Amino acid sequence: MGFVRCSLYLIAVAAVMFGAGLHLPDFLLNAKFFIYVPYKWEKNGKIYEKIGINKWKDRVPDMSRLLPKKLLSKKLAESEADKLPLLVRETCRAEFVHKSEILLGLVCLVLWRGLGGVIMTAFWAAANMPFVIIQRYNRPRLVRLIDKLNKRNAAALVPDDEEEERETVKTN
C-alpha cells in the first residue's frame, strides 16, 4: 500500500510542480537569485564535465520537445540569439521545479515508513538530479555567451563613435 500511496503522490507532485513552474514569479527566474548562482566548486559548470554530462545530457527527456508551444526549445539557431535570456530563465524554472520535486519527495518517508519509503525517496531524488545538474551546467555557459555577445555588440558600436570623433577632430 505504501508503494501505491508514494507513486500516486509523486505523480501528483510532478503534475502540480509542472503547472506551478509555468507560473513562477519573475524574481524566482533571475539567474542572479542566490539558489541559481554557481558554487565555486562547480567551476561555472566545468565540474559536471567530469561526470560525462556531454555524453548523456541530450538523452534525457526534454519537456520543450514534448510541449513546444509552452516551453522554449533548448536548441536555438544562431539567428535566435535574442532568445538566450529567455533560455536562461527556462534553466532557472527547470532547476526550481526539479529541486522542489526532490524536496517534496521526502514526504514518501512518511507515506511509506521503512526501507520502501527510503528507496522510493532515493529513486525520486536520483530521477530528478540529472535535470538539476543539466541546468547548473548550461546556465553559466549561457550567461557567458550572452556576456560575450553583448561585448561583441558593444565593440561593434565603438568604432563608429571613434570614427565620428576622428572626423570631428579633423574638421576642427
**pLDDT tens readout for residues 13-61:** 999 999 999 999 999 999 999 999 999 999 988 999 999 999 999 888 8
Task: Spell out, as residue ranges, where the chain has pLDDT lower than 70.
Answer: 64-65, 67-79, 158-172
Q: Which residues contact 61 (CB under 8 A, 6 or more apart)?
A: none
Q: Judge whether 111 and 56 are in contact, CB under 8 Å.
A: no
* Domain spans in the chain, listed from the N-terminal domain onward: 2-145
**Helical segments of 42-114, H only:** 53-56, 63-66, 84-105, 108-111
Residue corresponding to grid cell 521545479: 97
pTM: 0.82
